[in-house]
Chain A
Amino acid sequence: MSDSSIRTSNSVGTTSGSATGTANRTGGNRRSSTGSNQERVGTWGATLLVAEREILSQVRSKAFIISTVITLALVIGGIVLSSVLGNRAVDATPVAVVGSVPAEVTDSDALDVTAVAGRAEAEELVRAGDVDAALVPDGSAIGFSLIALDEAPEGLVSALSVSPTVELLDAAETTSGLRTLIGLAFGLVFMLAVIGSGATIMQNTVQEKQSRIVEILLAAVPARALLAGKILGNSVIGVGTAAAISAAAALGLAVTGQTELLDLLSAPLIWFVVFFVFGFVLVASVFAAGAALVSRQEDTGAVMTPAMMLVMIPYFGVVFFGDNALVMTILSYIPFSAPVAMPVRLFFGEAEWWEPVLSLGLLVAATAAVMLVASKIYTNSLLRMGSRVSLREALKAS
């Protein structure tokens, strides 16, 4: 046998053998790509799944549970405690009393009674500030009315077991103190809720990017579903937490019998909730888009700061310019400050009925636009690692 024939037959044998084997394997086990038993998840389904994970992973974390419980306890405890302490420690309110006011009304520890001869003298004392209020007889059912300078002293009204007609000598249109307080309250609730959730969204987004799980996720679901799910999940948590805190506060007020404040807030409060939800989604989108631009937790500061500004501005705007009707009107239409400014204006009855509707429309439109932009940034920068992606690059089509 010739040498070349050994080689030739060998090589031919090997080749044909492996070729046959291949053919068998390929043919025998071929599986149709439609044969799998899985349904394709739609964007909405994926969004819900992402939101579900987002919610569960946070709700189960010890840090979240502990901080929520502490916050709720502080809110209820604070309200109850201040009410209890307030009732006990209140100083006797100095009042001027004109002779014929029934004795059982004035016979109270909470009142420091100065007896005066007539109404004129009582008013003088009130104007001079020597007394907080004066009780003068009138023809009403309870027999007397209350004269005060610019607002009825709350301690006095609650100390009297009946509510007399209040007559203000120098009534301001709305008290500046209350205005600041309400602005502060709306602003604080909005800012705390948004910053807390915004930071969480940012952290989770960067974490997904940093840990590269985003590659696996993007292979399964579109980027906009990831974004939407993240916003939805965190909004549910944020709004839920805010609702829980409000409920706790309402409970505290109800327990201590301070229901007047609740009645007062109701209509603007409902508007606040509506604005809150959309404003929340708006800010959440900004935070998520910002987070998509960086790859590491250490770099979040650069994008966190501008996002924080967007949240802080309405807060400070309302606190500092609460008295300026023009600034407040402008703030109540700017989407980022509307969730705080519009409810404040509504609270003081300064807005026409159509104003919150228009402002809300602007807010919703802005939210939709920001989500669209955020989705684009998200899609274009989620897989970009390394240094921060510039906004211009992220907005350019990939």
Chain B
Amino acid sequence: MLSVRNISRSFGTHRVVDDVSFDVGRGRLTGFVGGNGAGKTTTMRMILGVLRPDSGSVTLDGEPVGQAALHGFGYMPEERGLYPKMEIGEQLAYLARLHGIDKATATQRGDDLLERLGLIERRRDKLEALSLGNQQRVQVAAALVHDPDVLIMDEPFSGLDPLAVDEVVAVIAEHAARGVPVLFSSHQLDVVERLCDDLVIIAGGKVRAAGEREALRDQYSGNRWSLEMNGDVGWVRGIPGVTVDELAGTTALFDAEPAAADAVLRSAVDRGTVTSFRPVRPTLGEIFRDIVVNAPAGAEEKVEAA
């Protein structure tokens, strides 16, 4: 398990990351979500040892992460960067060799990944000759080529078409299935929602929410319910303690305390056949907006929605 404990970092007087703690379990895909300038990239750089935290620590399985452990980390930075004028196959092999893999194995690994990502016939091409989406795939491959023990990916899906997202997701999930802790950030909340097991939501440099995805959704579900039955549901309005949000013929969406919701269900069963009655849990986008909007003033104003 990768644990981040109370790390902080300031640039000048601006505290970019403030006492951030969270865990990334082995085999868990952990989504790291936050607005622009929320501190995601800075946090990731500190985990990678590329940037030194002012305070706090990062541990892997209880051991402080030092140079030796960092060697096994795979990193995909937010700002994409590879050598534009280097052949992609050679480039991947070079990066693998920097991680201590011998030349033959390194070349083999690079080719395998390019094969998986549908770029094998372009392995002798220079990076700059590829389309942006394909460059992005090479960038993903660069993070994976040394078979990392920990995977940290900053916005791995930006700029990819839905099919490419699926390809990349499949490759990442494969690594997670090997028992590798995977932390990735993304603005595409639908992808995060579909993919991740755990979530860390950060705003203004502070962790606002962290935990299992479903638990978080439960936690932020409020008291919203959906009812579907045969016959008109207009009567729901008359139940005390119920605020109706949406009413459309045979379906109703309403906010109510559990007791009032019980009353609605009881009446519904009395009036006809209930086909569906369930709590409505918010999407990740809704939770995200909820948390980020409620973030105290002084945090970054720019909040990019899903």
Contacts and interface: CB of A to CB of B under 8 A. Distances in A.
A382 B12 CA distance: 18
Contacts of A7: 258, 261, 279
Contact of B95 (A26, A220, A222): A220
B51 A383 contact: yes
Contacts of A37: 147
Interface string B36-61: 00000000010011111000000011
B85 interface: yes
B82 A211 contact: yes
A interface, by DSSP: helix, strand, loop or mixed?
Answer: helix
B177 interface: yes
Contact of B149 (A36, A39, A45): A36
B75 interface: yes
B27 to A, nearest CB: 5
A132 B101 CA distance: 71
Interface residues of B, number: 58
Contacts of A2: 262
A257 B81 CA distance: 54
A49 B73 CA distance: 19
A4 B264 CA distance: 11
Interface residues of A, number: 46
A46 interface: yes
A41 interface: yes
Contact of B218 (A6, A11, A50, A222): A11
Nearest to A42: B100
A217 B61 CA distance: 24
A207 B68 CA distance: 27
B123 interface: no
A57 interface: yes
A263 B61 CA distance: 68
Contacts of B208: none
Contact of B26 (A4, A29, A45, A208): A29
Contacts of A38: 71-72, 99-101, 146-147
B254 interface: no
A84 to B, nearest CB: 42
Interface in A204-246: 207-208, 211-222
A11 B277 CA distance: 13
A18 interface: yes
22 contacts: A3-B261, A3-B262, A3-B265, A7-B258, A18-B214, A22-B28, A29-B177, A29-B178, A33-B69, A38-B100, A41-B99, A57-B83, A57-B86, A212-B81, A213-B81, A213-B83, A215-B77, A216-B142, A220-B71, A220-B146, A383-B50, A383-B51
Interface of B: 25-28, 45, 48-52, 60-61, 67-73, 75, 77, 79-86, 94-95, 97-101, 142-143, 146-147, 149, 177-180, 197, 212, 214-215, 218, 258, 261-262, 265-266, 277-279
Interface of A: 2-4, 6-7, 10-11, 14-15, 18, 22, 25-26, 29-31, 33, 36-41, 45-46, 49-50, 53, 57, 61, 207-208, 211-222, 383, 398
The 10 closest A-B pairs by CB, nearest first: A212-B81, A213-B81, A29-B179, A31-B179, A212-B79, A3-B265, A215-B77, A3-B262, A220-B98, A41-B100
